[in-house]
Amino acid sequence: MSTIAIISSFADDTRCARAIEQLREAELGDFNTFSPIPSHKIEYAIGRSKSPVRWLVLAGGISGVLTGLAITIGTTYEWGLNAGGKPLVSWPPFIVICFELMVLLGGIFGFLGVLMLSGVPTTETAPGYDGRFGGDRFGIVVRCDEAQAERVESMLKESGAEEIVREDEAQPR
């Protein structure tokens, strides 16, 4: 009995998410999902644990705040300019700089974290990928035993798959 790949495409993420939920419930084989847009529905359906990127963003945000404090407090002490008789280290305007640097470094850390963790940029595409999955279609590629293929296909069709193609694992597209 050989393992085969079933490639299915969906017109919207609701149907795609429904198919994922059913595949997971039935525990039939292993599958990959392709989505042209970030979709919460698919994310919830896959049920993957939260991305570690958020910790990188937190680290970036905290270093941004610290950088902001260092720049503002450091430069005011360095120059010692008295503005309107206010104390040298007056926090209200520093909040703005700390906030902006928090957003900036948090964003940069998050962006680099995504690139690093997702292995982008890459020239290889995952097996079963189709150009349309980067356009206007959602795709699910299921790898399962040949014996279960019928069940998987009917399940995908029921969930609203537009097109279902069966391929031998040996010859990916």
Contacts of 113 (CB under 8 A, 6+ apart): 52, 53, 56, 57
DSSP bridge partners of 143: 5, 30
Q: Considering beta carbons, is residue 24 or 151 the nearer one to other proteins?
A: 24
Beta strand segments in 36-79, E: none
Q: Rule CB under 8 A: say whether 86 interacts with other proteins.
A: yes
Q: Rule CB under 8 A: say whether 45 interacts with other proteins.
A: yes
Q: Rule CB under 8 A: say whether 55 interacts with other proteins.
A: no
CA 28 to chain centre: 24
Binding mask 103-142 for other proteins (x = CB under 8 A): ----------------------------------------
Distance between CA atoms of residues 76 and 164, nearest Å: 66
For the bound state, the minimum distance from the C-beta of residue 148 to other proteins, rounded and expressed in Å, comes to 23
For the bound state, the minimum distance from the C-beta of residue 48 to other proteins, rounded and expressed in Å, comes to 13
Distance between CA atoms of residues 34 and 140, nearest Å: 6
Helix (H, G, I), strand (E, B) or coil at 143: strand
Residues that bind other proteins (CB under 8 A): 14, 18, 21, 40-41, 44-45, 84, 86, 92-93, 95-96
